Amino acid sequence: MGVWAGRLKRAALAALIPTLLLAGCSGSSRSSSDAARVSAAQVTLTPGDGASEVPGQGGVFARVRDGRLTEVHLKDADGDEVPGAITPDGSSWSPSGRLLPETTYTLDALAVDKDGLQAAKHASFTTFVPKNTFIGFYNPVNRSTVGVGFIVEIRFNRAIRNRAAVQAGISVTAQPPVPVAPHWFGDQRIDFRPQHYWTPGTKVTLALDLKHVEAAPGVYGTQAKSIGFTIGRSQISTADTDADTLTVVRGGQTLRTLDISAGAPGHETYEGVMVISERDKVTRMDSHTVGLGSEYDIPAVPHAQRLTDSGTFVHGVYWRPASVFGRQNTSHGCIGLYDVAGGGSTTTAAGWFFAHSMIGDVVRVVGSDGDEVAPDNGMSGWNLSWAEWTAGSAAR
């Protein structure tokens, strides 16, 4: 009985298997029929997946045949989307903004055919590495302390055609807050200053966010950095070329009045506000470098403090007698103070003034028959009114 019972069970199972198989095939057949309805829309993305060196403009598209686009998204690695538009007939899409260099983007497009069946496509690509770049050379030294007349100056190694974009990538902020405005001098220099001299103790930050900024067609920035400096005590000196004196005022109090020898007739010292931008205990002064031919070549001028790019200094003079100072103007435009050779003295007039000065200190010249110093000649932008200064901004 046990053997026959086993045979009967196996026979019954064998009879059921075709029925189960038929049922399974029947269900699978309906699913395959649905899956076979593939969208007729054919989406093409340019560039293709994995592309590199894609241009920032004119090299990205989404197109569809036998359908219309419904969604297209172009995003960078941070998820920020580049705006774009689908054409009215739904056949193509292109971005309306420029793509950044050296950036990875993803492009996703969705389309439907006439039956409403969807088709999608995805691509990831990297944009071009710029062949032409620009950088800005700035004058503040990080963590330095400067005088109240300091003007932030940035000079670029290439001509800036898109000044507004470059200016937007630069900020100069102060703590405590004070308005600071830019002024362009030509297409390769931008300066920043407040309306009045800085308040002592102010913390100033120069931030350059110029990476990927297009300054001119095909020319991109590379810098992303921050520089901080502090405004020191207030020192404003007045050089009177009629009286031949230099009066040094710190914090509203006169420290000392020094005898000077300024520009001789025909070489009058510039009139107006200038600012110390460079300091050297000893430097060479060669008249060939300032367009005066062979007038002089002094290899070791002591206690030299630059006031203009064109070559005006306050400096020590050891080659003339002490009796000249306070009585006679004998220089080629500089402000001379009595000194001894070597640059080591702190007791001579020039040595004392050098020891009590810093970059950013103001030197104002009055009484001169010379021309007013140009606002772009060193840190001389204080000679412009606030209205004139702010008119030099590229922001409108």
**DSSP for 112-151?**
E-TT--EEEEEEEEEBPPPSEEE-EEE-PPTTEEE-TT--
Q: What pLDDT sits at residue 293? A: 74
Q: How many residues does the chain have?
A: 396
Pull the structure tokens for residue 76: 């960078």
What residues have CB less than 8 Å from 373, skipping those under 6 apart? 270, 271, 272, 273, 274, 308, 312, 365, 380, 383
Query: What residues form DSSP beta bridges with 372?
Result: 271
Determine the 3-state secondary structure of 268 from DSSP. Answer: coil
Q: Give the angle 152-158-160 at the CA atoms, nearest 5°.
A: 75
Q: What pLDDT sits at residue 240? A: 98
Cα 127 to Cα 76: distance, rounded to the nearest angstrom: 11
| Phi, psi angle pair for 19, to nearest 5° | -65, -45
For residue range 183-192, list pLDDT tens digits in order.
999 999 999 9
Cα 360 to Cα 227: distance, rounded to the nearest angstrom: 16
Residues of the chain with CATH 2.60.40.3710: 132-232
Q: What pLDDT sits at residue 36? A: 64
């204080």: which residue's tokens?
382
Residues of the chain with CATH 2.40.440.10: 235-380
Please give the chain's pLDDT, 396 residues, in tens. 443 334 333 333 333 333 333 333 334 444 444 456 899 999 999 999 999 999 999 999 999 999 999 999 999 999 999 999 999 999 999 999 889 999 999 999 999 999 999 999 999 999 999 999 999 999 999 999 999 999 999 999 999 999 999 999 999 999 999 999 999 999 999 999 999 999 999 999 999 999 999 999 999 999 999 999 999 999 999 999 999 999 999 999 999 999 999 999 999 999 999 999 999 999 987 777 777 776 667 789 999 999 999 999 999 999 999 999 999 999 989 999 999 999 999 999 999 999 999 999 999 999 988 899 999 999 999 999 999 999 999 997
Cα 77 to Cα 203: distance, rounded to the nearest angstrom: 35
Closest to 284 (Cα-Cα) out of 339, 233, 343? 343
In angstroms, the Cα distances linking 339 to 113, 251, 306 are 90, 26, 17
Cα 381 to Cα 384: distance, rounded to the nearest angstrom: 6
Query: What residues form DSSP beta bridges with 204?
Result: 174, 229
Using a 10 angstrom Cβ sphere, with 0-12 exposed, 13-18 middle and 19 or more buried, the burial of residue 367 is middle
Instruction: Assign domain 42-126 one CATH number from 3.60.15.10, 3.40.605.10, 2.60.40.1180, 2.60.40.3780.
Output: 2.60.40.3780
Q: What pLDDT sits at residue 292? A: 72
> Are 333 and 292 spatial neighbours (Cβ–Cβ below 8 Å)?
no
């001169």: which residue's tokens?
368
Q: What is the DSSP letter of 28?
A: H
Span 132-232: which CATH code? Answer: 2.60.40.3710
Q: What pLDDT sits at residue 10? A: 39
Pull the structure tokens for residue 71: 């969604």
Q: Are strands 136-138 and 214-216 parallel, antiparallel or unpaired?
A: unpaired
Q: What pLDDT sits at residue 18? A: 38
Q: Give the angle 206-100-182 at the CA atoms, nearest 5°.
A: 30
Topology of the domain comprising 235-380: L,D-transpeptidase catalytic domain-like (2.40.440)
Pull the structure tokens for residue 144: 């330095």
Cα 82 to Cα 125: distance, rounded to the nearest angstrom: 14
Query: Which contiguous run of DSSP H or E holds residue 174?
Result: strand 170-175
> Are 298 and 290 spatial neighbours (Cβ–Cβ below 8 Å)?
no
Cα 147 to Cα 200: distance, rounded to the nearest angstrom: 8
The phi-psi region of residue 294 (left if phi > 0; otherwise alpha if psi is between -120 and 50; otherwise beta) is alpha
Q: What pLDDT sits at residue 237? A: 98
Which residue pairs, CB below 8 angstroms and at least 24 apart, start in 43-47? Answer: 43/67, 43/69, 43/109, 43/110, 43/111, 43/119, 43/120, 43/121, 44/121, 45/107, 45/109, 45/121, 45/122, 45/123, 47/123, 47/125
Residues of the chain with CATH 2.60.40.3780: 42-126
Neighbours of 11 (CB within 10 A): 9
Q: Is the dihedral of CA 210, 212, 216, 218 positive or negative?
A: positive
Q: What pLDDT sits at residue 296? A: 63
